């Protein structure tokens, strides 16, 4: 963990009690948050380098001022996709950061571990204002 962190985000997993995979087709769903979560610790940096460290999956770095590239490591693309969306929506507002990710959600178990990871990403803009 960081000795001093700026923002801590806890994003819960979810289950669909009814309607798995029909929400994007206009069907009815009943999702619910569960007690397991993804926790992300963010710290801003004074440069354009970003380091993301998953306690379970490893680490990667990128430069926020260079075009983002799709990664061959699947989980990294969830982070990169959120960062890319923020950079496009709010040009010049996002700078370098460090992030440590810890998850209680099993990957691929159908409890939205990727969505929990993506939902914490927009807090990067909060990190930049501290």
Residue pLDDT, tens place only, 42-101: 998 989 999 999 998 999 999 999 999 999 999 899 999 999 988 898 888 888 999 999
pLDDT, residue 50, reads 95
What is the rounded average pLDDT for all residues in the chain? 84
Q: Convert the chain into a string of H (helix), E (strand) and C (coil).
A: CCCCCCEEEEEEEEEECCCCCCHHHCCCCCEEEEEEEEEEEEEECCCCEEEEEECCCEEEEEECCCCCCCCCCHHHHHHHHHHHHHHHHCCCCCCCEEEEEEECCCCCCCCCHHHHHHHHHHHHHHHHHC
Alpha-carbon torsion angle 15, 18, 22, 23, nearest 10: -60
Is it the case that residue 3 has pLDDT exceeding 50?
Answer: no
Higher-pLDDT residue of 80, 109: 80
Distance CA 85, CA 17 (A): 30
Domains, the chain: 7-129 (3.30.230.10)
**This prediction's pTM:** 0.82
């Amino acid at each position: 963990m960081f000795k001093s962190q700026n923002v801590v985000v806890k994003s819960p997993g979810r289950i669909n009690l009814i309607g798995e995979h029909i929400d994007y087709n206009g069907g009815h769903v009943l999702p619910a948050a569960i007690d397991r979560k993804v926790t992300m610790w963010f710290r801003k940096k004074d440069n354009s380098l970003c380091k993301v460290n998953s306690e379970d999956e490893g680490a990667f770095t990128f430069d926020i001022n260079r075009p983002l590239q799709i990664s061959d490591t699947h989980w990294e693309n969830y982070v990169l996709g959120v960062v890319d969306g923020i950079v496009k929506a709010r040009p010049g507002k996002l700078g370098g950061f460090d992030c440590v990710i810890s998850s209680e959600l099993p990957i691929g178990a159908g409890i939205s571990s990727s969505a929990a990871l993506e939902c914490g990403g927009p807090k990067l803009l909060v990190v930049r204002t501290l």
